[in-house]
Chain A
Amino acid sequence: MSVVTLDRRDSGTSGTSFTRLLRWLDDGIDSKGERYLEIRRRLVAYFDRRNRSAPDTLADETLDRVSRTLEESGRIKVTPPARYCYVVARFVLLEDIRRSQREIPFDETRPISLDPAANRAETDEAAERSLQCLTRCLNRLKPEDRNLIVEYYRDAKRQRIDRRRELARGLGITMNALAIRTWRLRASLEACVAACRNRR
């Protein structure tokens, strides 16, 4: 099992509180911190899809509030823990919206329209830099993982589906398991590329 490094330096949660939070999120199954990372990832995505400017900060704020509730109440009856986190996250989102004094209705269906050209404005230089980072990160993967990524994402449409089916059959796993495996590889690549770009 992979070792997970949990960075809680920006949080006000003490070591004991954080341990309690991890235990509560695990819900009886020791995930070595994986469950915390998974919930935090979902929270970041949730705030990001609400177009908040600091989704990571809001995700940490949500988890801090859950941790404080655990400290004060001793236990939270809502199950599963992810459901309680989502409920808290909705209030954190609302507060953030109000704080930003924007008149944005709290409506999940609201589309946000901005200039697409501006959104896509990533310079060629930045794109090339990202590509270099990606190549470097790909080369850091184990050969079988690198091959899996390449084979999984090559081709298109029917050919791609057939290839993925063959890959799954070759590995002796289901298509869903193959998708999850490659998603993990892709997520690690994304993190690697982000770290690489930040270093440059």
Chain B
Amino acid sequence: MKDFAASHPIDTRMAMPPTPPMSDDPLIRYLLGALPADEVARTMVDDELAARLRLVEDDLVDSYAAGTLTGEQLQRFEAFYLVSPGRRGKAAFAKGLQTAVERATHQPRPVQKVTTQPSRHIWRESWWPLATAAVLILAVGVLFLQNFTLRRELHETARQIEDASQRAAAASQQIEVERKAAAAAKQALVDARTAPALAVVSLVLVPQTRGVTSVSIVAVPPGSSAVPVNLTLEASAGTAYDVALRDPASNRTIWRSSPLAPDRLRKIPTVPVSLPAGLLKAQHYALDLFELRSGSAPEFVSSYAFEVVRQ
């Protein structure tokens, strides 16, 4: 076989003169097999034209794939272009690319989702922050409620503590008073023990109250037959009274007086009574005072506690 290129040296005489730019129409005709040979040379040599030829070819194939080729162009495309397996491959590729692009553009896009389904999109995008906000609001509400409850309990506790403090202070004050009274009573007992037992001094007893009070001490000198006691009255005095001596340990009445008249001359009325000294032992006793009224049973007035100290 003759190697033309090797046996025929080619020189610059084959260089072609500059030619004007070629429009797309001759390129399309070339692609469809209808272009003079000298024009074909330009598509081989001119870089810009070669690039344009490729673009025009792609557009032509795309048009065929899209079904927009008509008339003579379609006829020539099918009669010439599709003859080559390689070009048929390009046409098939164009068809596939078209399908792929259609699929890609018809797939839902994030931006389109925003336009068409704003609420669902926004909910999908922001449900975490919303949930977090809801939890925070709930937590703040619970904390606020707890805080309110704790503050109320704190106020209640403070009030109770204040009441308790006041009660404690009152109790301390009373205890101090009783302590002083006890000390005074002891001193009186000491004085009574040391004093000569010639005179009998009546003791004034006050009614027993529910509070903490010191018990009056009655000193019974040796040899005495009676112990005089004045029972103070809280209310206005009645006309007649009687007194019962009771042992608080057994709650048994061990002695009862005859009717007694109150002493109205004192600033505070009292009921004087003389207790039999022989009955009194060194222990605690209670005197129950009853008002005597005609036509009715004796009415309990008050009770007086005392401790007997034998000298």
Contact = CB atoms under 8 A, between A and B. Distances in A.
A127 B95 contact: yes
B52 to A, nearest CB: 9
A82 B36 CA distance: 19
Given A78-B15, A86-B44, A89-B44, A149 B33 contact: no
B79 A116 contact: yes
Contacts of A134: 93, 96-97, 100
Given A78-B15, A91-B4, A112-B80, A153 B62 contact: yes
B83 interface: yes
Nearest to B78: A116
B76 interface: yes
Interface stretch (A4-12, A13-21, A62-70, A165-173): A62-70
A3 interface: no
Interface stretch (B6-14, B176-184, B220-228, B279-287): B6-14
Interface string A102-116: 000001111111101
A131 B10 contact: no
B15 A150 contact: no
Interface string A176-200: 0001100100100110011000000
Interface stretch (B84-92, B146-154, B189-197): B84-92
Interface string A53-79: 001000000100110110011001111
A30 interface: no
Interface in A85-108: 85-89, 91-92, 94-95, 99, 107-108
B79 A153 contact: no
A122 B90 CA distance: 12
B104 A150 contact: yes
B252 interface: no
B212 interface: no
A41 to B, nearest CB: 9
A69 B5 contact: yes
Nearest to B76: A111
A192 to B, nearest CB: 10
Given A116-B79, A116-B82, A120-B82, A149 B101 contact: yes
A156 interface: yes
27 contacts: A42-B44, A42-B50, A46-B40, A65-B3, A68-B3, A72-B6, A76-B10, A78-B11, A78-B15, A108-B37, A109-B34, A111-B32, A111-B33, A111-B76, A111-B79, A113-B79, A116-B82, A120-B88, A127-B95, A130-B92, A153-B62, A153-B98, A156-B66, A180-B51, A183-B58, A190-B90, A193-B93
Interface of B: 1-6, 9-12, 14-16, 30-37, 39-41, 43-45, 47, 50-51, 54-55, 58, 62, 66, 68, 76, 78-80, 82-84, 86-93, 95-102, 104-105
Given A77-B12, A134-B100, A156-B68, 19 more contacts: A42-B50, A46-B40, A55-B84, A78-B10, A78-B12, A78-B14, A83-B41, A86-B41, A99-B1, A109-B34, A110-B33, A112-B80, A116-B78, A122-B88, A122-B92, A149-B97, A189-B93, A190-B89, A193-B93
8 closest residue pairs by CB, A with B: A91-B4, A116-B78, A119-B82, A86-B44, A88-B5, A108-B37, A65-B5, A111-B33
